[in-house]
Structure 1
Amino acid sequence: MTAANPPAGVPDPDFHERLTALAEKRMAAGEVYGEAAADPVNLPMIRHWAAAMGDANPLHTDAEAAAAGVHGEIVAPPAMIQVWTMPGLAGPAGRPESAGSPIDDVLAALDAAGYTGVVATNCEQTYDRYLRLGERPVPATRLTGLSGPKRTALGEGYFVTWNVTWYSEGERVAEMLFRVLKFHPGERKTTPDTRQPYPLGPAVNDDTAFFWEGVARGELRIQRCADCGELRHPPGPVCPSCRSAGRTYVVASGEGEVYSYVVHHNPPIPGWETPFAVAVVQLPEGVRIVGAVVDCAPAEVGIGMPLRVTYRQKDDNLILPLWVPRET
Structure 2
Amino acid sequence: MTYEDRLQAFVGRTITPLTPGQDPVNVPMIRHWVEAMGDENPIYLSDEAAKAAGRPGIVAPASMAQAWTMRGYAATMASGPAHELTELLAEGGYTSVVATDSDFDFARELRPGDHISAEEVVESISPEKSTALGVGRFVSSLRTYRDGDGEVVATQRWRILRFRPKQATAPRPRPAVNLDNQFWFEAAKAHRLLIQRCAACATLRHPPGPCCPHCQSFDWDTVEASGSATLHSYVVAHHPKHPAFEYPLVIAVVDLAEGTRLVTNLVGVDAADVTIGMPLTLDWLDADPDLTLPVFRPAEER
Task: Determine if contact 1:118/1:267 at 8 Å carries over to the other structure.
Answer: no
Alpha-carbon distance in 2 for matches of 1:76, 1:143: 28
1:28/1:124 CA distance change after superposition, 3 Å: closer
- The structure whose Rg is larger is 2
Match of 2:8 in 1: 24
Alpha-carbon distance in 2 for matches of 1:177, 1:48: 26
Paired AA for residue 70 in structure 1: G
Match of 1:167 in 2: 146
Alpha-carbon distance in 2 for matches of 1:131, 1:189: 48
Task: Determine if contact 2:169/2:244 at 8 Å carries over to the other structure.
Answer: no
Residues 143-222 of structure 1 mapped to structure 2, 5 A cutoff: 143-168=122-147, 169-189=149-169, 195=171
Match of 2:118 in 1: 139
Say if 2:104 is the partner of 1:125: yes
How far residue 25 of structure 1 moved from its aligned partner, in angstroms, is 2.6
Match of 2:85 in 1: 106
1:119/1:30 CA distance change after superposition, 3 Å: closer
Task: Determine if contact 2:27/2:112 at 8 Å carries over to the other structure.
Answer: yes
Alpha-carbon distance in 1 for matches of 2:115, 2:160: 27
Task: Determine if contact 1:188/1:196 at 8 Å carries over to the other structure.
Answer: no
Q: CA RMSD in A?
A: 3.1
1:123/1:196 CA distance change after superposition, 3 Å: farther
How far residue 68 of structure 1 moved from its aligned partner, in angstroms, is 2.4
1:167/1:127 CA distance change after superposition, 3 Å: same
1:134/1:155 CA distance change after superposition, 3 Å: same
Alpha-carbon distance in 2 for matches of 1:87, 1:266: 21
Match of 1:76 in 2: 60
1:72/1:38 CA distance change after superposition, 3 Å: same
How far residue 46 of structure 1 moved from its aligned partner, in angstroms, is 0.3
Match of 1:62 in 2: 46
TM-score (norm 1): 0.50
TM-score (norm 2): 0.54
Residue 28 of structure 1 aligns to a residue in which SS?
coil
1:272/1:75 CA distance change after superposition, 3 Å: farther
Residue 123 of structure 2 aligns to a residue in which SS?
strand
Alpha-carbon distance in 1 for matches of 2:73, 2:13: 27
1:271/1:63 CA distance change after superposition, 3 Å: farther
Task: Determine if contact 2:125/2:138 at 8 Å carries over to the other structure.
Answer: yes
Alpha-carbon distance in 2 for matches of 1:165, 1:147: 21
Paired AA for residue 12 in structure 2: A
Match of 2:193 in 1: none
Residue 166 of structure 2 aligns to a residue in which SS?
coil
Residues 166-315 of structure 1 mapped to structure 2, 5 A cutoff: 166-168=145-147, 169-189=149-169, 195=171, 268-271=240-243
Paired AA for residue 172 in structure 1: V
Alpha-carbon distance in 2 for matches of 1:272, 1:23: 31
Residue 40 of structure 1 aligns to a residue in which SS?
coil
Paired AA for residue 116 in structure 2: P
Task: Determine if contact 1:137/1:167 at 8 Å carries over to the other structure.
Answer: yes
Say if 2:20 is the partner of 1:36: yes
Paired AA for residue 75 in structure 1: V
Alpha-carbon distance in 2 for matches of 1:42, 1:151: 43
Task: Return 5+ residue gaps in structure 1 as ranges.
Answer: 1-13, 198-264, 276-328
1:90/1:183 CA distance change after superposition, 3 Å: closer
